[in-house]
Chain A
Amino acid sequence: VFCSMAGEDFFLEEKRFKQYCEDFVKHSQQIGDGWEWRTSKDLPDGYLSKTHFQVRNRHIPPDLKEKNNDSTEQMLFAHAEEPSDDSQAAGVCSTEDVVRYEYHVLYSSSYQVPVLYFRACFLDGRPLTLDEIWGSVHASYQDRLQEGPWDTITQQEHPILGQPFFVLHPCRTNEFISAVLGGSQEHLRHTNYIILWLSTVGPVVGLNLPLSYAKLAPEQSTDADLT
Chain B
Amino acid sequence: MTDDKDVLRDVWFGRIPTCFTLYQDEITEREAEPYYLLLPRISYLTLVTDKVKKHFQKVMRQEEVSEIWFEYEGTPLKWHYPIGLLFDLHASNTALPWSITVHFKNFPEKDLLHCHSKDVIEAHFMACIKEADALKHKSQVINEMQKKDHKQLWMGLQNDKFEQFWAINRKLMEYSPEDNGFRYIPFRIYQATTERPFIQKLFRPIASGGQLHTLGDLLKDVCPSAITPEDGEQKTQVMIHGIEPMLETPIQWLSEHMSYPDNFLHISIIPRPTD
Contact = CB atoms under 8 A, between A and B. Distances in A.
A191 interface: no
B199 A43 contact: yes
A11 to B, nearest CB: 10
A13 B199 CA distance: 18
Contacts of A163: 110-111
Contacts of A110: 131, 134-135, 186, 200
Secondary structure dominating the interface of B: loop
A159 B109 contact: no
B114 interface: yes
Interface string A1-33: 011110010000000000000000000000000
A164 B112 contact: yes
Given A110-B131, A162-B195, A156 B113 contact: yes
Contacts of B143: 2-4
Is the interface on chain A under 10, 10 to 19, 20 to 34, or 35 or more residues?
20 to 34
A208 interface: no
B122 to A, nearest CB: 12
A111 B139 CA distance: 9
A160 B139 CA distance: 24
A157 interface: yes
Contacts of A71: none
Interface residues of B, number: 30
B78 A157 contact: yes
A171 interface: yes
Interface string A158-176: 1111111000010100000
- Identify the 5 closest CB pairs spanning chains A and B, nearest first: A162-B197, A2-B143, A5-B138, A110-B131, A127-B109
Interface of A: 2-5, 8, 40-43, 109-111, 125-127, 152, 154-164, 169, 171
15 contacts: A3-B139, A5-B134, A5-B140, A8-B138, A110-B131, A110-B186, A126-B109, A152-B123, A158-B197, A159-B200, A160-B197, A161-B195, A171-B130, A171-B134, A171-B139
Interface of B: 78, 80, 109-114, 123-124, 127, 130-131, 134-135, 138-140, 142-143, 186, 194-202
